[in-house]
Amino acid sequence: MSKNVLIVLAHNNFRDEEYLSVRKSLDSKNHKITVASTVTKDAAGSQGMKLDPNSLIDDISPDDFDAVIFIGGPGASQYWHDVKAHDIAKTIDSNGKTVAASSHAAVTLAVAGILHGKNATSHVAVYEKLQVAGANYTGKKIEKSGNIITSTGANSAKEFAEAVVAAI
């Protein structure tokens, strides 16, 4: 059954591999995908990818989606303290639907408060931010805690995509 899936990525420096792995896996299951960012033209990956997101994050209604995936990379820090990103994550989580974040994007979930007391992982460069926000950092490539999935980043992109699609 096709689901409505939201992918949130930074306008600059998202990880191409993380996006492409998730996108390919979701497309293979015919899910309806909306890509949101703070721009709708020329979002740039850290490895040279360019794409045009479908929507501005501020125009997103989280109740319209069955899952949200925050794509990592150094640019993901733009959402760490973003009220709209937190609202999306918290709403989808409170509805018991899949919330996923790879690499640096896991910090967004931690700061939003939905990783408090839960096992989570992230890129090693930001693990302390998860701990400060009350998450139990495990360092595993993939961590699933209830309906929340986190990963370490590009080195686990394929496994992350598989875990997300299985959860949806």
| DSSP-assigned states of every residue in 77-123 | GGGTT-HHHHHHHHHHHHTT-EEEEEGGGHHHHHHHTTTTTSEE---
Tell me how many degrees the CA angle 126-128-133 measures, rounded to the nearest 5. Answer: 105
* N- to C-terminal Cα separation, the chain: 10
Ordered by where they begin, the domains of the chain are: 4-167 (3.40.50.880)
Per residue in 87-116, pLDDT (tens digit) is 999 999 999 999 999 999 999 999 999 999
Q: How far from the centroid of its chain's Cα atoms is residue 18's Cα?
A: 9
Alpha-carbon span 12 to 21, nearest angstrom:
18
Taking alpha carbons only, the member of 43, 48, 42 closest to residue 17 is 48
pLDDT at 1: 84
- Backbone phi and psi for residue 134, each to the nearest 5 degrees, phi listed first: 95, 5
pLDDT at 136: 97
DSSP letter, residue 133: T
Per residue in 43-63, pLDDT (tens digit) is 999 999 999 999 999 999 999
Q: Which residues contact 128 (CB under 8 A, 6 or more apart)?
A: none
Q: Do residues 114 and 145 make contact, with C-beta atoms less than 8 angstroms apart?
A: no
The rounded radius of gyration (Å) of the Cα atoms in the chain is 14
pLDDT interval class at 29 (50, 70, 90): very high
